[in-house]
Amino acid sequence: MPAFFGRLNPRSTLFVLLSIAWTMVLPANGFAQANFDRPGGDYTSLEIGSGDPAECALTCERDRRCRAWSFNYPTVSRETAICWLKGSVPKRVESTCCVSGVRGAGVVEVRNRKLEIATDRSGGDYRSMTVEPSAEGDTCKVACESDNKCRAWTYARPGYVGKDARCYLKDKIKPPRRKPGFISGVVR
């Protein structure tokens, strides 16, 4: 054993060794990411009625054969979300259709001060409109920023409140709550 480990207590040594082993086992880009797909390697698919990518990740966890997964958001032509389970770990590619990951990774959603992914701010709506679909609700955010009355906004992906993407402009800032398929933000 290297001298470094001799200076650590047994619990610290175990932690360091497990950390090293974990990084060797976890594939590159091993965490789940929004706006990425992993085409190929599918052995089954299932509808996800809740529209929640975390449910797809959990389904993969519970299936011994599953090595990776891709979650496809509902679309104009398909009203439900689809979970694709994969027997291999295909390379990930950028795509706004999906969230994908490998077994053991869970779902990592973008969090920052300007975007609240998988978040709804229900209530306070003074205007609702159909908008073009986008990965981050850009058209909804721009509509709110250009309207002095608007303090917050919520974008609903197609398939979550109808076939079209919807934008809700709000004159009140309501508390955020987790809701797959929605993106929110506070402007002022």
In angstroms, the Cα distances linking 133 to 20, 84, 138, 165, 188 are 42, 22, 9, 5, 24
**Does residue 16 sit within a domain?**
no
Mean pLDDT, rounded, for 16-25: 38
Q: What is the pLDDT of residues 106-156, one digit of tens each?
A: 676 655 567 888 899 999 999 999 999 888 899 999 999 999 999 999 999
Residues 79 and 130 in one domain: no
Asked if pLDDT for residue 170 goes beyond 90, the answer is yes
Range of the domain at 162: 116-186
Residue 9 covered by a domain:
no
Q: What is the pLDDT of residue 104?
A: 84
Candidates 97, 91, 85; CA nearest to 159 is 97
pTM over 0.75: no
CATH code for position 52: 3.50.4.10
Q: ∠ at Cα 168 (165, 173), nearest 5°?
A: 145
**Residues 104 and 127 both lie in one domain:** no
